Structure 1
Amino acid sequence: MSGAAGRVAQVAGRFVDGRLPVRIRAWDGSEAGATRESGAPVVVLNRRRALRRLLWQPGEMGLAHAYVSGDLDVEGDLGEGLTAMWGLVRDGVVTPRKPRLPELPGVLAHAARLGLLGPKPAPPPEAIRLPRFARLHSKLRDRAVIHHHYDLGNDFYEFLLDATMAYSSGYWTDLGAGPTAENLRAAQDAKLDMICRKLGLGPGSTLLDVGCGWGSLPIHAAKHYGAHVRGVTIATEQRDHVNQRIRAEVLADRVQVDLVDYRDVPARIEGYGEFDAVSSIEMGEHVGDGNYPTFASILFGAVRPGGRALVQQMSRRPGDHPGGGPFIETYVTPDMVMRPVGDTLTLLQRAGLEVRDVHVMREHYVPTCRAWIATLEAHWDRAVALAGERGARMWRLYLVGAALAFEENRMGVDQILLARPTTTGRSGMPSTRASFEPAGIPAS
């Protein structure tokens, strides 16, 4: 082996048992590692700093910092590359390990010759910086987390998402449909329509949407079902966007969105305790384990006896990292908690809600993420203009990794339909599921 790539391959071999799973192209143009004929992914080291990051933080976090910063690239399709590398580790072909004690002098010698020894590189500025001394899931910290991820700017999310502005899994009536913008819009409309049907909404129904995002459900429920909706969010950009949509759709008499923390809903939202229905779409993951009983109790308290609740929430298998792993916790949502769906059901039941239906939608998140990826890739220059080069690279890595995690059952998403029974046990639910499935959006 010659050149920087050869020396890198020698060092990298000390960190894995089994063959090196990638081909390496170094900053000097040299290549080494797996042969091109093997079809192995090609990892491009644009700068020495990529390796310094990996020496300081071996594994997912070092790779993420290196990729987001542009120090490291994967040639070709990033999703295919991550799938291939993850598959080798998952199937035991490659086993990561720490260098053995006798190997350390050689590793350090190679690192010195490559010019890698030095201080730990700072993470890219896209990594979240939380307020010092802010307690976990305090209102101050939660606002900082939301500001980091959701207040990036409405222009970016309008670019990435479909016209409904739904930032949650769609419902793909044909999972084989391509991840096009048109199919994504149809999947999001089908999801919103199914939620409204499950909640039994109709003209004059009242709905509270906790964590309403950019207003996809409130607007849909009011426009197509005649419901009167209150939404709450703690993201200023989201609130402002929904208010613009309310004015544009002439729905001010049916939709109101407020900047309110979910913990303040009982005191701040008029009509609390009398809503026909309450919903929370992919917001429950963000309240944390300690606060989830409070969150569940607020949902229970918001809906009248005989009313319904619907929670759509991401989940993880028992024993899997509940926060989604170091990358998600550093760049996306640091305090997220994804638990097995059964554990969430128990928490909701303890609050007094009756579980009526659980709809596993894990496979539906795969084409949803891939449709967002297709938009990102097709309009890369626009993404860079809105989020910066590093920001766009972070989103690419996030969405590609998320699609793979849902596809391989390392993350899930579930729609949970609940009822608040009356004191005599009446749920108000239909006797069959026939009314749940979308059958076309009602005329507005």
Structure 2
Amino acid sequence: MTEPARFDRGHTDDLMTFLAASPSPYHAVATAAERLEKAGFRQVAETDAWDGTSGGKYVLRGGAIIAWYVPEGAAPHTPFRIVGAHTDSPNLRVKPLPDSGAHGWRQVAVEIYGGPLLNSWLDRDLGIAGRLTLRDGSTRLVNVDRPLLRVPQLAIHLDRSVTADGLKLDKQRHMQPVWGLGNDVRDGDLIAFLEETAGIPAGEVTGWDLMTHSVEPPAYLGRDRELLAGPRMDNLLSVHAGTAALAAVASGASKPASIPVLAAFDHEENGSQSDTGADGPLLGNVLERSVFARGGSFEDRARAFAGTVCLSSDTGHAVHPNYAERHDPTHHPRVNGGPILKVNVNNRYATDGSGRAEFAAACERADVPFQSFVSNNSMPCGTTIGPITAARHGIRTVDIGVAILSMHSARELCGADDPFLLANALAAFLEG
């Protein structure tokens, strides 16, 4: 039986607001937490003892958030339904000694995070955002959302072969942005500027996790505004959809059959091996503590995990009109065609036949079309948090997402309908 659609184009409008408010993983989880708070969720500290009361709760750790909703009367062995996603995107991140420069230019020393399309960061107005750590151990978010930095491309007059041979970029020499003029490069200038911007007393910042972002806002594109261009859709599009779906299910009239969960991790783009990544213990710890807080035993934990299903939601590749030969000839996902089911028999994705059936049932209930994606056999396949989640926690996992173009660019492109189609499918899954 199909359910009435919860989300429409207004969800995509809201996605644009979410993307603009989330220039770093730390901002993304803060924005998600704020939205969950409005839906009645409350934050719990990992250092506190947890109670077994019903309702919505969430844990924040760095750039990760785990949120869950316990229905009234849920048994300790009640299984979970998890939407998994990640908060990080490839970009340029500030080094420990950020102040540099040469030949009268002041520059910021950056390191390449993940696997960005480097050319997409050239000649683009960049801001800087992230997390500052103070002497007392507290943290403050900072976001300079105006043109502050720029990675200038070499003029064609000085590289006549670039058109024929292609652009060749050295990550160390060619990707350092400029942000001013001056021959006297002083250690501490960037951090002093950010302290002033954030209203922090001078000298109080002793640690930082900072990154660049494009300051160009998300925008509808095309004659009929049927496309959406914007930054960090890989994978804040899924974080936003998962947050909206969880809030809708928690505030809905019907009680979900399982315990719905949103698990948004950091560091997917470089392997997930951190205390806030999918390959860390965070999700397992939260789920286990939820079982034990409701009076459960290890047996209840085992029963709950055995019945748990996770949808690992991440962006995937839409068929590219200029490079169709790079795709599998019989699988051509299209934008605005609905979410994609990702399959790879070598377990780069975690989907199997039973997982396909699970996702198909959720899409049917939500009256949402879906598509299938596999890689061209001659090309390597990417991966997600799906196989990691399945192997680490022993829970059934299905890899899905939204088909986009320009993945890992500073500015990506998707269909304007796909974000709300995904959100409707996720809500139906969490409620089922």
Identify the structure with the greater helix proportion. Answer: 1
Identify the structure with the greater strand proportion. Answer: 2
Identify the TM-score tier after normalising by the shorter chain: under 0.3
TM-score when normalising by structure 1: 0.27
TM-score when normalising by structure 2: 0.27
